[in-house]
Structure 1
Amino acid sequence: MRAVGEDMDIMLGSRRRSRAALWQAVADFAEQRGWPVAQGAHLVRDGRGTQCSCGRATCAAPGMHPADPRWSERATASPAAVRYLWSQWPDSTVVVPTGRVFDAISVPRHAGTRALVRLERMGAALGPVLATPTGRVAFLVAPGAAAELPHLLYQMGWDDAELDLRCHGEGDYIFAPPSPMGMLGSVEWIRPPEDGTETLPEARLLLGTLAYACHRKDSTTGRSLWLAS
């Protein structure tokens, strides 16, 4: 049986590793990729339990929303600004605005993994792909996809289908790996970004396969837990 001190050492060690991973990711996004980032809320100790860092006792999504209501206008890709922000609030999660460098097409995890396998077999050009502990998979695509989505679905004959498919564009955001989402777990890369400049695919090249995977009767469906302000 471990002593209380041993449990504390394990917890502190885990927190240090989590912070180091977040800091490395933030530095890579801002310095290497030029992605604007904003800080997200996180869980903090409250006696024997936890609460959201926003301080609201009635927070509807503890640790799963931007820390600043003005996150969109304050998101930055300045390496100096990013280093300062995370030095002041080191446990902040990483919020990346969509509609600027990329949009993100989000589908249920079952459908997303099935579509990814098919797209890779087809030799389709793919960008980064991530998975969330809320059961979603997001494909990063060239910006502008959200505005085009209704027309693209209409052209492909999917406009009347009930699809659990969402595109995050201007005014929205994603949480970037390895951000923890409350008590649920962390966002993870399924297909991490490549080194150097990466050309993101156009949404139309992936959308047919994603829509088909979502429409499959044996697909697992569920409500999206992506959160916007």
Structure 2
Amino acid sequence: MFIVEETIPGTGAAQIPNQRGTSLLGTAVRYAEERHWDVVPGTWLEAVDGVHRCSCGDAACAAPGAHPSRPDWASQATGSATVARRMWQKRPTASILLPTGRTFDAVSVPETAGFLALARMERLGLTPGPVTLTPDRRMEFFVLPGASVKVPDLVRRLGWSPSSLDLTVLGEGTYVAAPPTRFGFRGAVQWACRPTPANRWLPDAEELVSPLAYACGRDR
């Protein structure tokens, strides 16, 4: 169930709680310790002439402060809270990246479709796993690994062409940026559905693909 803090005017959707001031180090450690997610520090924001820019040095970076900082980032990811603490002690402002294709995959859809899908899931009695809301207006639904193989066929069975929907699966070899990571001046990643004991056991993509595909079809 998603947490309703305040209603976004005109949508009836949940306003996500403000997470500014949350410690990146403490949060990364909790993800590893409490959820058993692998974590890896990414890039960070640096103040240059009063402007926050990505540590990668690219002034036109598409995801400033929210992408891998090295080519071998996947091999550096850890599920150890002790190692995570050590990593962020070295770089306290580094973004928190969660590799996909390990303990979870993520189904990414536009924000409007995501909120529509959440409302539909609630009516159907479906419990989603954690869901992030990114500053570039995407929602990422955490599901069991293997979704990247299953989803295209599941979408076809529902009568949709996978290429016709703005629905993608993040699986092995990629990642999601986790709250409270910031995308430069655009804001922070937030939870649309927070990790709680109730959603510790992730749904299979097959359980969620119907409301997600329906919502993406409506959002075209």
Give the alignment's TM-score, normalised by structure 1. 0.82
Among 144, 148, 151, which residue is 1:149 paired with? 151
Distance 1:92 1:56 in 2: 16
Distance 2:25 2:198 in 1: 19
Question: Contact 1:39/1:68 (CA < 8 Å) preserved in 2?
Answer: no
The percent identity for this pair of structures is: 43
Please state whether the residue corresponding to 2:186 is helix, strand or coil: coil
Question: How is 1:149-168 mapped onto 2 (pairs within 5 angstroms)?
Answer: 149-159=151-161, 162-168=164-170
Distance 1:137 1:197 in 2: 17
1:55, distance to aligned residue in structure 2 (A): 3.1
Q: Deviations over 1:160-181 (max 9, x none)?
A: 6610111101111100111111
Among 201, 212, 215, which residue is 1:213 paired with? 215
Distance 1:205 1:86 in 2: 36
Structure 1 counterpart of 2:30? 28
Give the alignment's TM-score, normalised by structure 2. 0.85
| Cα separation, partners in 2 of 1:125 and 1:59, compared to 1, 3 Å | closer
| Cα separation, partners in 2 of 1:129 and 1:60, compared to 1, 3 Å | closer
Distance 1:95 1:176 in 2: 6
| Cα separation, partners in 2 of 1:79 and 1:197, compared to 1, 3 Å | farther
Question: How is 1:52-63 mapped onto 2 (pairs within 5 angstroms)?
Answer: 52-57=54-59, 59-63=61-65
Structure 2 counterpart of 1:40? 42
Q: Deviations over 1:176-207 (max 9, x none)?
A: 11111121100111111113881111101111
Counterpart amino acid of residue 86 in structure 1: W
Question: How is 1:96-107 mapped onto 2 (pairs within 5 angstroms)?
Answer: 96-107=98-109
Which of structure 1's runs of 4+ aligned residues deviate more than 6 A? none
Counterpart amino acid of residue 156 in structure 1: L
Number of positions where the alignment pairs a residue of Structure 1 with one of Structure 2: 201
Between 102-111 and 61-70, report the one with greater CA deviation.
61-70
Question: Contact 1:128/1:189 (CA < 8 Å) preserved in 2?
Answer: yes
Q: CA RMSD in A?
A: 1.8
Distance 2:114 2:198 in 1: 25
1:43, distance to aligned residue in structure 2 (A): 1.3
| Cα separation, partners in 2 of 1:190 and 1:154, compared to 1, 3 Å | same
| Cα separation, partners in 2 of 1:107 and 1:60, compared to 1, 3 Å | closer
Structure 1 counterpart of 2:187? 185
